[in-house]
Amino acid sequence: MIPVRGFEGAKIAVLGLGRSGLATAKALEAGGAEALCWDDGAEARARAEAAGLTLHDLTRREAFQGVAALITSPGIPHLYPTTNPHIARAYAEGIPVDNDIGLFFASFGAGDWITFDEPPRVVAVTGSNGKSTTSALIHHVLSEAGKPVQLAGNIGRGVLDIDPPVNGEIVVLELSSYQTELARALTPDVAVFTNLSPDHLDRHGGPGGYFAAKRRLFAEGGPDRAVIGVDEPEGLFLAGQLAEGPGDDRVIRVSVEQKLSGPGWLVFARKGFLSESRKGRQVGSIDLRDIKGLPGAHNHQNACAAYAVCRTLGLSPKVIEAGFQSYPGLPHRSQIIAEKDGVTFVNDSKATNVDAALMALLAFRNIRWIVGGLQKDGGLEGLSEGLGHVAKAYVIGREAEAFARDLGDVEAEVCTTMETAVARAMAEAQPGDTVLLAPAAASFDQYDNFEKRGEDFMACVKAAL
């Protein structure tokens, strides 16, 4: 646990008692604060009370009297589409609002660092797609290289729930826009921007607000090194804002769509080969084509970002390549779950938006595509580049018929349920085909989350094999 500093003896309200909220309350109390906990859900309140935490009803008129700050869980809207009423009251009464990420960065360096020969460092990864894989890949490579490392944030443990760092340790954080947009402190040593595509637009008031939430990770604290994906205009803009000139190696530009050139620090992948260039000279390369845990161009982008981070942390290209080779992949992200009679089964349930699904379609050929769910803003037009890889689509979800119509000329069968879709895809699959779950949609019409959807897919495949 990372004890929260700066609130000794103060009353701090904690709103939202999920994983991060419970960890936040305990970390506040470990730092000497009095945590006053609330959640509008009775079940969450009961869990907190059973854990020995103090409940404090924020709906009462005098609820914020004597409260020094409100710490809110990232999933609770603090501005768009509408401000949560408890947060709105805190604003009205002049009470600072923060989240666990802000508390983490304000408290992380307050331990026994004066005794460390090599201070611990924080790597923070954000972006629309690939941040989980990039974070997990960095963690894996560092761990395989024998470095002390922890993985937390939007993946793994809550940021305040990690162990106090040891000498030279690296903490790798995956941070969503929900986490970066409100944090009052953001000071990573290395910050990564993978890419940007439309997502969570209602929460951020549009694409500008969404990008602004990501950009805060770089603008608020000024990381020592920034790894920036430059295949979208926003990444180019961000890299341009951070660099003092073309040769500024504090900014490492990353691409999978173009061969980068110039005097700066560059990492790019073309036709499956990763290349690192500094001062106009190639200084490292890796053949990514046969690395099973990193299939497709989207994973090659993740590999480029992870490679760049590991190089800044002192690892050699050979050590990084060895870590890539042993990387098993993350569940629900281009995860090969079975192979039988020449047919490969891939679970990419995390492909909850069009851009992520497109990357999955481009990574494979002869696809029996299981798709559908709660469609997001923007429609499905962005999938057109990958549809030539699709032999047939098997559409799931409560609105499967409407979803199928939006697929245009792709042959599509309305299946509605995962069990039916898997059965139909397996019945029609030929050797060389890939049965791919890449929904291009949210899961909430049928499942609690994308993990449950992916688990259902794996269970259906296992039962049918």
Burial 80-89 (b: 16+ CB within 10 A, else e): eeeebebbeb
Tell me if 5 is assigned to some domain.
Answer: no
- Identify the domain containing residue 174 by its residue range: 103-325
286 shares a domain with 152: yes
Helix %, strand %, coil % of the chain (to 5):
35, 20, 40
**425 alpha-carbon distance from chain centroid:** 30
From the CB of residue 362, how many other CB atoms can be counted at a distance below 10 Å?
15
Q: Is 131 annotated as a binding residue?
A: yes
120 and 237 share one domain: yes
CATH of the domain at 435: 3.90.190.20
Same domain, 155 and 302: yes
Do 71 and 145 fall into the same domain?
no
CATH (domain of 65): 3.40.50.720
Domain boundary among 98, 132, 166: 98
Number of other residues whose CB lies within 10 A of the CB of residue 260:
17
- Residue 174 and residue 293 share a domain: yes
Q: Does 4 fall in a domain?
A: no
Q: Which pLDDT does position 77 carry in this prediction?
A: 94
SS3 state at 434? strand
> Among 64, 98, 132, where does a domain finish?
98
Tally the domains of the chain: 3
Q: Of 295, 325, 355, which residue sits at a domain end? A: 325
Considering the domain architecture, whether residues 127 and 216 belong to the same structural domain is answered as: yes
345 and 307 co-located in one domain: no
Chain-centre distance of CA 49, in angstroms? 30
**What are the beta bridge partners of residue 369?**
393, 436
Q: Any idea which residue has 């009370």 for tokens?
A: 49
Give me the CATH number covering residue 154: 3.40.1190.10
Please tell me whether 127 is known to bind a ligand: yes
Residue at 330 is within a domain: no
- d(C-alpha 316, C-alpha 168), whole Å: 17
* 187 within domain boundaries: yes
What b/e readout covers 156-168, taking b as 16+ CB neighbours within 10 angstroms?
bebbbbbeebeee
Looking at the fold, whether 303 and 452 belong to one and the same domain comes out as: no
State how far the Cα of 305 lies from the Cα of 356, in Å rounded to an integer. 17
Q: Are 184 and 106 in contact (CB under 8 A)?
A: yes
Task: Specify which residues 24 forms β-bridges with.
Answer: none
The answer on 201 and 94 residing in a single domain is no
The rounded distance, in Å, linking the Cα atoms of 404 and 410 is 9
- Residue 320 covered by a domain: yes
**What DSSP character marks residue 188?**
-
Q: Domain check: are 65 and 128 in the same one? A: no
The pLDDT value given to residue 111:
66
Tell whether 128 is in a known binding site. Answer: yes
302 touches 359 (CB < 8 A) = no
In contact, 37 and 17? CB cutoff 8 Å: yes
Would you call 105 helix, strand, or coil by DSSP? Answer: helix
Mean pLDDT by 10 residues, the chain (465 residues): 95 95 96 97 94 96 96 94 96 97 91 82 94 95 97 91 93 96 95 88 88 94 94 96 94 96 96 95 94 87 97 97 92 90 95 90 94 85 92 95 92 97 97 97 93 97 93
- Is 129 assigned to a binding site? yes
Residue 416 makes CB contacts below 8 A (sequence gap 6+) with 395, 396, 397, 398, 400
Global pTM value: 0.85
Residues 237 and 316 in one domain: yes
CA end-to-end distance (rounded Å), the chain: 44
**Whether residue 425 sits in one domain with residue 389:** yes
Residue 297: predicted pLDDT:
82
Residue 404 domain-assigned? yes
Domain annotation covers residue 129: yes
Residue 358 domain flag: yes
List the Cα angle 380/386/387 in 5-degree steps.
70
Q: Which residue has the tokens 């992200």?
A: 333
Please tell me whether 262 is known to bind a ligand: no
Three-state DSSP at 436 gives strand
User: How far apart are the C-alpha atoms of 71 and 35, rounded to whole Å?
Assistant: 10
Contact criterion met (CB below 8 Å) for 89 and 83: no
